[in-house]
Structure formats: structure tokens, C-alpha cells
Structure 1
Amino acid sequence: MPTAPASPWLRRPAPRPAATTTVLCLPHAGGNAGFFTPWARLLPPELELLAVQYPGRQDRLLEEPLVEMAALADALTAEILRTPLLGERRLVLFGHSMGASVAWEVALRLERGRGPRPRRLYVSGRPGPRHQHPADTYRLGEREFTDELRRLGGTSEELLDDPEMRELLLPAIRADYQIVGTYAPDLDARVSCPIEAFTGDADPEATPDTVADWASATSGDFSLTVLPGDHFFLWPQGERMVAALGASALPAPPR
């Protein structure tokens, strides 16, 4: 998977130098940039996908994972401001589960600074800020923590069954759960860009009512789409998700 120049944070699965809009995708807790690779070639040619690689996984396995939301959002925002890939392009952000909160925090920072202002924020599989509460799941022992990962899905059973792979994978996943479990969003904060929210109709972690609360996190327009599936509805609904992004990420044609 090609990497954005001089950036350990960004992956560029399908380079499109002529694209006019960048879709920056942020994965869930325990996820990695490769989660979004299948989407890259399904997007319209005007859109180029960049996927975020958090520290502590895959080719960043030897790096210490971050354990605080502010530190993660600050570091990623700084990387966005440094990358030459954005140029004069429009920028939209997409985050799933933990990635939704990270994307919102990054959007807030970009809107307060001198960098590119996001034109749209997509949040998926994550309750709105007023329904996000502290949790100490990250403190569980290895067996209980692994059982929780099995319950939620999204992590290969084969990897969880392998003691050596668990030793490699669990520190980064546990760090992500610490980010989520200790995160306290600013309930007065608002982005000015529109927010589009998505969730699965059988997601026990992000019900439609709680995901609808993202409307309170923007001063712009808001919409909610509920699709069939559980917390990882994105896998079976990938084509529908990409179609939704392609329909709204680009500017409206002139009348």
C-alpha cells in the first residue's frame, strides 16, 4: 500500500493526483489503515482516499501507542497540516467508532487553526458526545478483554486464538480502549461543517437514538442513515457507504 510522502500516519491505497477532494478515513479501536483499502478504488475519480495509521500497529508496531484522545488528535492534526497531499483540495473526514470521535476532535482543531477547514464530517458507529461515557474495559485482564473483543467483533478470531499474536496486538487495542474509556468530549463544542452519521440497525454500541445526538455537535446540517448490520456494518455495506460518500463529498454542480 503506497504511503503518503514522509508521513508515518497516512496511507494512500489508490493515488489520484488529479482528485479535487481528499477523504481522510480514521479507523476504529484496534483498527488500521488497511480497513479502508477496498473503498479507495470504489470512490469516484474526483475523490482520493487517505487512511490513517495509528501508532503501535502493523508497520508502526514498534512505536508506543497513544492513550489519550487529546494527544492523538493533536498529533494527527499536526500531520494533516504538514502533508503536501492536500494542497488546495477540499477535505472531508470519515471516522468509524473511536475514529468518529477522533475525526470530530481533528475537525474542531482544523476549524480553530489555519489549516484546511473540513467541508464535511462523516461519523459512523459511535454515539454522539452526550452519550459517550467513561469505561474501564481497558483495565480488564487478558482473558476478559479478549472475550470483549470477540463479543463486539471486528478482530479476527484466528488472531485472538493465537497467544503470540495476542501479545503483539493487544497493547495497541488496549491503548485505543483507554482513549475511548477516558475521553470526555466538550459538550459545548461544535464544528461548523455538516455532519452525516451512519450506524447499523443491530449495533448494540451505537443505537440510532444515541447516534442522532451528533446533531448537537455541529452548527451545520445533520443527517442520519441507518443501515442493516451490527457494529461493523461497514464490511457488508461497503458499497452503499462508498456511494453515500461519493454522493455528498463532492461540491454540488452549478445550476
Structure 2
Amino acid sequence: MTGIAEPTALVCLPFAGAGPSFFHPWSALAGESWRVLPMQLPGRERRILEEPHREVGAAVDELLPGLLDALVDTKRVVLFGHSLGAVLAYELAHRLVGVSDVEVLRLFASGSPEPHTQRARRATGMSDDEFVARVREFAGFSDEALDDPEMRELILPTLRADVEMHETYVPSTSKPLPVPVTALRGTHDELVSAEQAAGWATATNAEFELVELAGGHMYLTEAGRQLTELIDRTVNS
């Protein structure tokens, strides 16, 4: 990636059920000009025993102070989020543009309709078996841990909370972001259409771009290098 004097923070927000470790390989892919900062939510990985959030605003309220503390060697920020992570990244972007010494360069919103599209209640309130089957159906991807009874019991409460958080999401503001936005989707995503992804153009009063990469809703599990190269090329060109 292109070298610059000050590293740029690539702040990564996870999809439902995921933790920061998903983004750890991106540090090696991104190179020295980027500092990958995956956000840690409660209810997973090292915070597995903590109660997960069920509301986006509360999650962002908790994430913001830790993120600002982490921006010790750079004030240049790019945000990336997939699915649930896209709306978390969008809300964080709104908070960050109000911080005087932070420069938000761009938001990459992946696998998500624009923020003001009402989310469908696809899985919230279902029984465990119905819930897992529905998540597998609409995501086109499933964590193998859900096949293990003990692991499933451990991770299902957080996955349920994340899905509820996403399906009940209401934007905190109707104001467009004053920063550029790139919307991303898999070409065969059956959950988010190209038209819905293109709707992110209404979420910004700056530059907008829609990019499609090969794959379904969870295309990003195989596209780390493509994404980091795309992010670098878009921001540093």
C-alpha cells in the first residue's frame, strides 16, 4: 500500500456475531501506512461473559471513548463496517465528525441497505432452531460453531442480540454525512440488492461510489486483500 508519513486508522466494525479477530489478518494486508483498529463489542471473544448490546446507540456510546483513546498516533480515520457493522460505522462517523481534531476521510458501508431503510424482522423472536436456520438462510454463511451444542449455547445469545440490534435499528439523525461514502455488496447478495446499496448516496452530501465484488452476502470472508487494496486505492489515489 502507499506509504504516507502519518498512518491512517482503519476502524472496522463487525457483522452480527463476529469479533475483532475477524479483522486481524487485515493488518498484514493493509501495510504500514494503515493502522487497523477492529472494535471490540461485549459478548464475544475476550468480553464473552459481558452482556451484549441490543441497541445501536448504546453500542456506539460505549465504543466512541475507547476509539478516541486508541487514536494516539493518528487523527486520520476511515471506517469500514459490514451488515450490522455498516450502521455502527455510520453512527460512529456522525459522532467523529463532531470531534475537532479527528479527520474522517471516508465511510465504507458493506452489505447493508442505506441507514433509513427499515430493517425487516427476519429472525428476532424465533426459537433457537428457527433462528439459526433463518440466519443461515439469509446470510448464506454459517459459523461452524453453531453445529457444536456447547459452542452454540455460548455464542447464540450474542448473535441473537446482534440480530435484534440490527433489525430494530433507527438512525440517530437524518442529516447526511459530510464525508464520502463507498457502498459495497457481493454481486450475488440475496439479502441486500444493488438498489438498496446504492441508496447510501442519500447518506452523504459528499462523493459517493457503489462497488460490487464477487460473492454473496458474506463475500468479505474471502475478500480481505481485495477490500484492503480497494480501501487504500480509494482513499489515497
TM value normalised by structure 1:
0.85
Q: 1:93 aligns with which of 79, 82, 99?
A: 79
Q: 1:196 aligns with which of 155, 165, 182?
A: 182
Distance 2:100 2:53 in 1: 25
Deviation at 1:153, TM superposition (A): 3.8
- Aligned CA distance change for structure 1 residues 154 and 31 (closer, same or farther; 3 Å): farther
Question: Match of 1:66?
Answer: 53
CA contact (8 A) 1:194 1:218 kept: yes
Q: 1:30 aligns with which of 11, 17, 22?
A: 17
Question: Match of 2:204?
Answer: 218
How do residues 107-186 of structure 1 correspond to structure 2 at under 5 angstroms?
Answer: 107-114=93-100, 116-135=102-121, 137-151=123-137, 152-157=139-144, 159-186=145-172
Question: Match of 2:63?
Answer: 76
Question: Match of 1:232?
Answer: 218
Deviation at 1:222, TM superposition (A): 0.3
Distance 1:88 1:232 in 2: 30
Deviation at 1:49, TM superposition (A): 0.6
Question: Match of 1:42?
Answer: 29
Question: Match of 1:14?
Answer: none
Deviation at 1:134, TM superposition (A): 4.5
Distance 1:167 1:41 in 2: 33
Deviation at 1:45, TM superposition (A): 1.9
Amino acid at match of 1:191: L
Q: Specify the SS of the correspondent of 1:220.
A: coil
CA contact (8 A) 2:122 2:134 kept: no
Distance 1:139 1:76 in 2: 27
- Aligned CA distance change for structure 1 residues 191 and 86 (closer, same or farther; 3 Å): farther
After TM superposition, the structure 1 stretch with the greater mean CA deviation from structure 2, 224-233 or 187-196, is: 187-196
Deviation at 1:206, TM superposition (A): 1.2
Distance 1:149 1:216 in 2: 28
Question: Match of 1:13?
Answer: none
Structure 2 portions without partners, runs of 5+:
none
Deviation at 1:187, TM superposition (A): 6.4
Distance 1:249 1:54 in 2: 26
Q: Specify the SS of the correspondent of 1:112.
A: coil
Q: Specify the SS of the correspondent of 1:133.
A: coil
Deviation at 1:131, TM superposition (A): 2.5
Amino acid at match of 1:37: H
Q: 2:194 aligns with which of 200, 204, 208?
A: 208
- Aligned CA distance change for structure 1 residues 97 and 225 (closer, same or farther; 3 Å): same
Percent identity for Structure 1 against Structure 2: 38
TM value normalised by structure 2:
0.91
- Aligned CA distance change for structure 1 residues 21 and 243 (closer, same or farther; 3 Å): same
Deviations 1:28-70 (A, max 9, x none): 0111111112221011321111111210011110111011111
CA contact (8 A) 1:134 1:184 kept: no
Deviations 1:107-151 (A, max 9, x none): 111113445231111110111123332526221110101112222
Distance 1:136 1:207 in 2: 16
CA contact (8 A) 2:140 2:216 kept: no
Amino acid at match of 1:131: T
CA contact (8 A) 1:95 1:101 kept: yes
Deviation at 1:103, TM superposition (A): 0.3
Distance 1:64 1:92 in 2: 28
Amino acid at match of 1:72: A
Question: Match of 2:8?
Answer: 21
Q: Specify the SS of the correspondent of 1:249.
A: helix
